[in-house]
Structure 1
Amino acid sequence: MTTIHRVATTPIAGQKPGTSGLRKKTAVFMGPHYLENFVQAIFDVVQAKGRTFVLGGDGRYFNDRAAQVILRMAAANGALRVIVGQGAILSTPAASHLIRLNQTDGGIILSASHNPGGPKEDWGIKFNMANGGPAPEAVTETMYQHTLSLAEYHMLDAQDVDLGRIGRHDLGGMIVEVVDPVRDYAALMETLFDFPAIRALFRGGFRMRMDSMCAVTGPYGVEILENRLGAPKGTCVNATPLPDFGGMHPDPNPTWAKALMDEMMGPDAPDFGAASDGDGDRNMVVGRGIYVSPSDSLAVLAANAHLAPGYAKGLQGVARSMPTSAAADRVADALGIGKFETPTGWKFFGNLLDAGRATICGEESFGTGSDHVREKDGLWAILLWLNILAVRKQSVADILADHWASYGRNYYSRHDFEAIETARAEAMFTALRTSLADLPGREVEGMTIRAADDFA
């Protein structure tokens, strides 16, 4: 007979989720009661009794232990069923798809996205709603307020579930359903893209390099690109998820994916290069000898999405975050569809997607996605690029040149400041904000500033 313990606890300061859940150093989450307090707040707010959830993550250090804790707490809180990716592995877009496919009541994703993993690095957890998208601010704020008054959490006294074995397991009367983390997601991709055309592209000698940065998309890339689409073995590199991402910083940009950039700019570069991040929601695209900025990628995908079966009827609209260049706006205007600007954070695209007003969304931080799930989706963007390349039979460089000739070219710049002392960072942003009102109309290097805003 299993026993449920009501463990006494006290509130722990600082459990306020950000734009993508709660993220702290791994050691913080491993401290006494820290993970348990936050998970109990989730289950209390969403009223876990009788509900079904999805659970999985990016494979980073501590995910395996955290998954067992969450399962025991779910059972203790009366959950009916939890669908878990084998080995507690699920990319964020795959988790979003499983929530929607199985019509669950939400899901818990264990990831700190593109942040490094390991005992001394970062860890994260977030809750996604029944629509598959990140919990909105009203919900995360309620969870945070609940952490401030938490007095106990519920824990089932039970052995670990064998998450390596696909199938159904019983945990104190709750069903734990361990599933292949790739299968359903791969099947969804086959409904959206012209797999026969992409297979023909690879049969014709097309060369690609896919760098998963020892993170979660490795198994997805191998199954879809190599096994289903016929890309040569070895097309996918760094394809085994590791707890510390092999010491890599799994952020797909020219700085952290330097090996891929060097190969793509080299004398024997493949035709197409791509990289994805820790939890599989970001992507970087590179052509032979040419880098594709995230803002240009969004615009090109919007302009050519009709070439893929899943978008053959056209788009309802295109949405972008405020820091993203207006390149996608030009495409929307030309197509006569809606264009939208949102604050930073994928959750702000959710209402537009749910209302059917936007079909494709993107942000300059290497995130792109569509209404097929409610998260940005790195591999989706890579597959749409492959679909476009297969149909148009042009290089990445030629497609970009044609795009700029048709729509014009937008330039923008992003500046990252990492590990800056909080007071200095706040002072810099205060100075920037106070200068905004004086910028419109000012001339700089022969150009006039039209507008300056803060949409953070």
Structure 2
Amino acid sequence: MAVSSSLPPPLALPSPVKASSSTAIAEPEGIKINSVPTKPIEGQKTGTSGLRKKVKVFKGENYLANWIQALFNSLPPEDYKNGVLVLGGDGRYFNIEASQIIIKIAAGNGVGKILVGKEGILSTPAVSAVIRKRKANGGFIMSASHNPGGPEYDWGIKFNYNSGQPAPESITDKIYGNTLSIAEIKMADIPDVDLSTLGVTKYGNFSVEVVDPVSDYLELIGEDPLFLLAIICYVYSSNQSMFIFDAMHAVTGAYAKPIFVDKLGASLDSISNGVPLEDFGHGHPDPNLTYAKGLVDIMYAENGPDFGAASDD
């Protein structure tokens, strides 16, 4: 994928990390690293599905920053120093702000490059695909699964290893242990990165590449076609109007048109709720008979489609 070497001025987003009393520590080439004093915060027990809390909890002083730093404190340096990490999520509220915090702490801990999906978008399987295709050291997934999104709702984060799989319990236990003793956050003094435009931004020997959230995943599908896609091809090969996909205004909306319309030939009107929204359109992104009732009604209507599906992440 070709990328531009120049980007518009960085966005200025608020950060809940308090750095007013920080002190400068050893600096990599061209980057000032601040040591931000902090203290343990209760409630950061981490499972293999990561850490999930209300947005207002994550927006608390140093809450997210503590967890990210505790993760780096839990990994062998060779697992990330001068390496590549992937960053993306399901498009929910707080993802953009959280991305900026994660990028700065990654730079502060010696990561060489961050690959982040445009607008912070990367589905859970797409993060895994990018990790494996780009031979990255691991990746952050910002998602709270089927839970609603918005200022009053949920947010979550987890870490996948270089295999593309979630970090094992041995690592998540270490993360939790380190949240109980954390005393500093290593924060790079760099501007926020514009996540709305594909391209590379460099700060000394650290760089951030904003990538197309779909291309690597689409290539993976092309190399190993999924059984579900084969079924869909069969269903609408004779009549495109007989297929419908409800993306529930979740992250799969970013993938629906490139996969179903552009690659497989479905009609554009076969995609509903295809624009990812921070609050999922005030909906609940859980593809079941209750929260995907609109799809169910369409399927049971007279002359309804033969095949329908809904997905959030």
Range class of TM-score, shorter chain: 0.7 to 0.9
> How big is the shift at 1:263?
1.4
Q: Is the 8 A contact 2:48 2:167 kept in 1?
A: no
Superposition pairs of residues 268-279 of structure 1, within 5 angstroms = 268-277=303-312
- State which of 52, 56, 62 in structure 2 corresponds to 1:27: 56
> How big is the shift at 1:2?
3.8
Q: What is the TM-score normalised by the length of structure 2?
A: 0.85
Cα distance between partner residues in 2 of 1:189 and 1:246: 28
- State which of 185, 194, 201 in structure 2 corresponds to 1:169: 201
- State which of 87, 92, 98 in structure 2 corresponds to 1:55: 87
Equivalent residue, structure 1, for 2:23? none
- State which of 238, 244, 248 in structure 2 corresponds to 1:204: 238
> How big is the shift at 1:228?
1.2
Cα distance between partner residues in 1 of 2:163 and 2:260: 28
Equivalent residue, structure 1, for 2:13? none
The count of residues paired between Structure 1 and Structure 2 equals: 278
Cα distance between partner residues in 1 of 2:219 and 2:273: 23
Q: Which amino acid aligns with 1:275?
A: A
The question of 1:115 aligning with 2:115 is answered no
Q: Which amino acid aligns with 2:253?
A: G
The question of 1:17 aligning with 2:46 is answered yes
Q: Where does structure 1 differ by over 4 angstroms across 4 or more consecutive aligned residues?
A: 194-201
Q: Is the 8 A contact 2:131 2:137 kept in 1?
A: yes
> How big is the shift at 1:68?
0.8
Give 1 or 2 for the bigger CA radius of gyration: 1
Closer/same/farther in 2, CA of residues 44 and 51 from structure 1, 3 Å limit = farther
Equivalent residue, structure 1, for 2:18? none
Cα distance between partner residues in 1 of 2:59 and 2:135: 31
The answer to which structure, 1 or 2, has the higher relative contact order (CA under 8 A, 6+ apart) is: 2
SS in 2 for 1:163: coil
Cα distance between partner residues in 2 of 1:151 and 1:213: 41
Instruction: List gaps (5 residues or longer) in structure 2.
Output: 1-29
Q: What do the CA deviations read for 1:306-348 (whole angstroms, capped 9, x no partner)? A: xxxxxxxxxxxxxxxxxxxxxxxxxxxxxxxxxxxxxxxxxxx
Superposition pairs of residues 149-188 of structure 1, within 5 angstroms = 149-188=181-220
SS in 2 for 1:123: strand
Q: What do the CA deviations read for 1:364-402 (whole angstroms, capped 9, x no partner)? A: xxxxxxxxxxxxxxxxxxxxxxxxxxxxxxxxxxxxxxx
> How big is the shift at 1:19?
4.0
Q: What is the TM-score normalised by the length of structure 1?
A: 0.59
Equivalent residue, structure 2, for 1:95? 127
Closer/same/farther in 2, CA of residues 111 and 198 from structure 1, 3 Å limit = closer
The question of 1:244 aligning with 2:279 is answered yes
Equivalent residue, structure 1, for 2:15? none
Q: Is the 8 A contact 1:168 1:175 kept in 2?
A: yes
> How big is the shift at 1:172?
4.3
The question of 1:145 aligning with 2:174 is answered no
SS in 1 for 2:268: coil
CA RMSD of aligned residues (A): 1.7
Cα distance between partner residues in 2 of 1:275 and 1:223: 16
Closer/same/farther in 2, CA of residues 192 and 13 from structure 1, 3 Å limit = same
Equivalent residue, structure 2, for 1:262? 297
- State which of 250, 267, 288 in structure 2 corresponds to 1:253: 288
Q: Identity of paired residues, percent?
A: 50
Instruction: List gaps (5 residues or longer) in structure 1.
Output: 281-456
Superposition pairs of residues 352-367 of structure 1, within 5 angstroms = none
Equivalent residue, structure 2, for 1:189? 221
SS in 2 for 1:138: helix
